[in-house]
Chain A
């Protein structure tokens, strides 16, 4: 029997280098003769560029080049549209440099390359650009109106895309409803803000006409393809390496950010290595944003709380371009029904161009927005019916007996929201017991009588995870006995090396120390897509399992020949194939690897080596689920919210490594909490971003995050052989609605209504005072 590793709290392989300061992040890469780049960015949200004069900058000693769109030629053609949406009216994607016209503050206009970063920044100030500014469209709702200033002059309106989805007869459902809840809900704009900003280093080798590109990307394979295509080079001559990356959360995939093209372009042109490291202010301006939507939602129900129909028409701020398609809107509606049975559903999303930075997925990719909408209208319905919010949920949850149950929406890649391998009533029961919901409700009137404003809120979610396309994996046993695992998708802190080692070592029957993982380098493995959408465990680890099983079978077959035994009588134990019950008879995997590559005597038609490559392409999404419950006390003098309890119950299927799973949940909740209370990107009317430092855009510290209790309910997925469901993003989803519910519950006497987030003490005070007036 092999050592059990899947499901164990294995310490991470990646940590030693991170703990000792020997990891290699992008800015740690130093190459001989390296030059440094800085980007000139538009100071206007909308302007025509009349003239760019770089002569003074070029005259500065130490300045090597100033590139503008004219230098790029065809490389400056528009970037690809990553997701077609059938509702597109005006798909518009960005270019490396905006030619002739800028559309948001921060859009790249020119690139300086100099002997040092300090000198490159000095030179930026010497580039003269004449702009003819015009009125910008900044607020999403204003931009959606006809007659609004146009973001793209070749369009008739700023509506980029309008898409409807649904099932059932919604009008009939609303006609027979006893009660209809209507709300307008607004999750505000935020951003991922990983602690490491983006960066790129490129090195060109003249003799082989090849490029090495180190890039803080979540998708090196796709980045390589695009860089090669844009530069007119064979893909084989371009290598993209994602080094250690200091957090991604979605913002580090765009395909391509301008700099991911400009730096390789500059390195090739100058025949020198070039480095560009984004500073924090640039990250606020030049990297993608997330979250702003305005939902007009209606929920129809019977008197007993049975849900009949849901309509949600919502506006999605796409920013100045829409290279991702309105993916966040698609995901928001895809998980909108959550764990509830709703017979008739109509959704419509309207993606709107504004003169603001591009919007693309940040952890959850629209799902937290959708969850805020559904959970908030559920709470309003409970209140109107005089039902406890828990009871209303109980009456509408999909149960195991209903499964598989079609939730009525379609998530990414055409994946219908099919509930299966889940037990929402059990999740709810576990949550209520853990937080002592009934005890709280019994005590609450007493607290109210004493003037204590305590409230309890729950949030229930279903998270779309593990989406297509595919990932691939090579598993190779070396004659040294080491097992090398290579794949295309990189890690930004999720511990993929460790989970892959767990899967491969247990499945093959080797000690984990013998397994090495190489990921995120296209010179090692260049198939697959990237790290996003809680898919690494589902797609990547399944590919690893399949490849490892094939290697195992090949090892058993080879050993059967070698030992003259039946393969079924053999087992692999600690890297050695042994005759069951007679462990002295055996052969090591290293020896078998050598036998599998007999050089001279290799039979025709036989592939050399003890190795296999396999791929996993899921049919559609897997779905994870969970429920959060929390207790707050609101100080009605200050509006401050004290968090007394925070309990999570979740179901991500089989956990490969509970330590890592819990880390994902805790980190996601902290990001959700930031979005709930603190994080908001604010623009002025001219489209200037006013929040460009961590002093204005507040990321929670250890003081703001409460202790969080996690309970697991792991129902294995039947969609993949590991039984995993994915866990990266779900923790974010119910944070804002659960807090909103708890605060509304605490302030029931004041009729508090939270319809947007973030909400801070001033908003809470305003609700209290509004009622007092």
Chain B
């Protein structure tokens, strides 16, 4: 219960956020309430549900399991970085077309997890997709339409790579 503060610099979606923060501030709270990027959600704060997943130096990470001070100097990506202006990322397009979301609360964490997954596994099987999704809980969809959306996103992404 002391009022100690540490100044940290975190780059989120290309923008630098320099803030004096309490050492016990969770990274998820820093992203949501200091950087005011509220697209990243919190479902459990126990590291189980995956709703808070962001990319930490391009790797998926659970922002509820880290302290903000641990991210000092790091480069993060959140859901807000996915679309470029009005142009949706193929993952977003695919989730929209295949009804890969209902309440949408789990969606940002799933999209960020899948972004990293498809970068490493551009042509995944259904079984691989399900394994890759298994760290993200969704209570609404039953996952099937998410699986279809990820497969569709993989197709859209590879079409975009082939296109001149």
Interface residues of A (CB under 8 A from B): 11-12, 14-16, 18-25, 27-28, 30, 60, 118, 122, 192-197, 244-247, 249, 279-280, 492-495, 659-660, 662-663, 666-671, 693-695, 699, 701-703, 705, 707-708
Residue of chain A at shortest CB distance from B38: A28
The smallest C-beta distance from B159 to any residue of chain A, in angstroms, reads 19
Q: Which residues of B contact A118 (CB under 8 A)?
A: 22, 24-25
Q: Is the interface of A mostly helix, strand, loop or mixed?
A: loop
B134 & A703 in contact (Cβ 8 Å cutoff): yes
A18-B104 CB under 8 A given contacts A27-B32, A280-B44, A280-B46: yes
B141 & A21 in contact (Cβ 8 Å cutoff): no
The smallest C-beta distance from B107 to any residue of chain A, in angstroms, reads 6
Query: Which residue of B39, B78, B140 has the most chain A CB atoms within 10 A of its CB atom?
Result: B140
B102 & A495 in contact (Cβ 8 Å cutoff): yes
Q: Which residues of B contact A15 (CB under 8 A)?
A: 95-96, 101, 104
A193-B33 CB under 8 A given contacts A663-B102, A701-B133: no
Q: Which residues of B contact A671 (CB under 8 A)?
A: 139, 142
A493 & B102 in contact (Cβ 8 Å cutoff): yes
The smallest C-beta distance from B5 to any residue of chain A, in angstroms, reads 13
Cα A121 to Cα B158 with chains together (Å): 48
Q: Is the interface of B mostly helix, strand, loop or mixed?
A: loop
- 13 more CB-based (< 8 A) A-B contacts, given A27-B32, A493-B102, A699-B137: A15-B95, A15-B101, A20-B79, A118-B24, A194-B103, A194-B105, A195-B41, A195-B103, A196-B41, A494-B102, A669-B142, A694-B46, A703-B131
Residue of chain B at shortest CB distance from A697: B48
The one of B1, B49, B97 in contact with A60, judged by C-beta atoms closer than 8 angstroms, is B1
Can you spell out 12 A-B residue pairs with CB atoms less than 8 angstroms apart?
A: A11-B96, A16-B88, A20-B80, A60-B1, A194-B105, A196-B41, A247-B102, A247-B105, A493-B140, A670-B143, A705-B143, A708-B142
Cβ proximity bits B127-164 to A, threshold 8 Å, 1 near / 0 not: 00111011111111111111100000000000000000
Q: Which residues of A contact B40 (CB under 8 A)?
A: 21
Q: Which residues of A contact B51 (CB under 8 A)?
A: 195
Residue of chain B at shortest CB distance from A492: B103
Q: Which residues of B contact A492 (CB under 8 A)?
A: 103
The one of B43, B108, B130 in contact with A702, judged by C-beta atoms closer than 8 angstroms, is B130
Residue of chain A at shortest CB distance from B26: A118
A695 & B145 in contact (Cβ 8 Å cutoff): no
Cα A60 to Cα B133 with chains together (Å): 44
A693 & B46 in contact (Cβ 8 Å cutoff): yes
Q: Which residues of B contact A193 (CB under 8 A)?
A: 139
Residue B120 interfacial (CB < 8 Å): no
Cα A245 to Cα B145 with chains together (Å): 20
Q: Which residues of A contact B99 (CB under 8 A)?
A: 11-12, 659-660, 662-663
Q: Which residues of A contact B32 (CB under 8 A)?
A: 27-28
Q: Which residues of B contact A280 (CB under 8 A)?
A: 43-46
A-B contact count (CB 8 A): 176
Cα A122 to Cα B24 with chains together (Å): 12
Q: Which residues of A contact B38 (CB under 8 A)?
A: 21, 24-25, 27-28
| Residues B69-112 near A (CB distance < 8 A) | 78-80, 82-83, 88, 92, 95-97, 99, 101-108, 111
A23-B139 CB under 8 A given contacts A12-B96, A30-B36, A280-B45: no
Q: Which residues of A contact B48 (CB under 8 A)?
A: 693-695
B142 & A705 in contact (Cβ 8 Å cutoff): yes
Cα A699 to Cα B135 with chains together (Å): 11
| Residues B3-27 near A (CB distance < 8 A) | 22, 24-25
Cα A694 to Cα B138 with chains together (Å): 12
Cα A670 to Cα B131 with chains together (Å): 16
Cα A192 to Cα B139 with chains together (Å): 9
Residue B65 interfacial (CB < 8 Å): no
Cα A472 to Cα B135 with chains together (Å): 41
Closest 8 pairs between A and B when the two form their complex, measured CB to CB: A21-B39, A493-B103, A18-B104, A246-B105, A670-B142, A666-B142, A493-B102, A21-B79
Q: Which residues of B contact A22 (CB under 8 A)?
A: 39, 80
Interface residues of B (CB under 8 A from A): 1, 22, 24-25, 32-33, 36-46, 48-49, 51, 78-80, 82-83, 88, 92, 95-97, 99, 101-108, 111, 126, 129-131, 133-147
Cα A21 to Cα B33 with chains together (Å): 14
A663-B96 CB under 8 A given contacts A21-B108, A247-B105: no
The smallest C-beta distance from B79 to any residue of chain A, in angstroms, reads 4
A694 & B49 in contact (Cβ 8 Å cutoff): yes
Cα A662 to Cα B44 with chains together (Å): 27
Q: Which residues of B contact A495 (CB under 8 A)?
A: 102
The smallest C-beta distance from A117 to any residue of chain B, in angstroms, reads 8
Q: Which residues of A contact B97 (CB under 8 A)?
A: 11
B105 & A195 in contact (Cβ 8 Å cutoff): yes
Cα A659 to Cα B95 with chains together (Å): 12
The smallest C-beta distance from B101 to any residue of chain A, in angstroms, reads 6
Q: Which residues of B contact A27 (CB under 8 A)?
A: 32, 38, 42
B146 & A702 in contact (Cβ 8 Å cutoff): yes
B141 & A663 in contact (Cβ 8 Å cutoff): yes
Residue of chain A at shortest CB distance from B109: A195
Residue of chain B at shortest CB distance from A668: B142
The smallest C-beta distance from A370 to any residue of chain B, in angstroms, reads 22
The one of A12, A195, A662, A701 in contact with B43, judged by C-beta atoms closer than 8 angstroms, is A195
Query: Which residue of B103, B146, B147 has the most chain A CB atoms within 10 A of its CB atom?
Result: B103
Residue of chain A at shortest CB distance from B88: A19
Cα A23 to Cα B79 with chains together (Å): 12
The one of B95, B137, B140 in contact with A694, judged by C-beta atoms closer than 8 angstroms, is B137
A699 & B144 in contact (Cβ 8 Å cutoff): no
A245 & B95 in contact (Cβ 8 Å cutoff): no
A670-B141 CB under 8 A given contacts A16-B96, A18-B104, A663-B99: yes
Residue of chain A at shortest CB distance from B145: A663
The smallest C-beta distance from B46 to any residue of chain A, in angstroms, reads 5
The smallest C-beta distance from B21 to any residue of chain A, in angstroms, reads 11
The one of B22, B78, B103 in contact with A247, judged by C-beta atoms closer than 8 angstroms, is B103
Cα A673 to Cα B154 with chains together (Å): 28
Cα A605 to Cα B156 with chains together (Å): 58
The one of B37, B133, B138 in contact with A21, judged by C-beta atoms closer than 8 angstroms, is B37
Cα A118 to Cα B126 with chains together (Å): 42
Residue of chain B at shortest CB distance from A659: B99
Cα A659 to Cα B82 with chains together (Å): 25
Cα A701 to Cα B110 with chains together (Å): 12
B102 & A667 in contact (Cβ 8 Å cutoff): yes
The smallest C-beta distance from B47 to any residue of chain A, in angstroms, reads 9
Residue of chain B at shortest CB distance from A123: B1
Cα A564 to Cα B1 with chains together (Å): 78
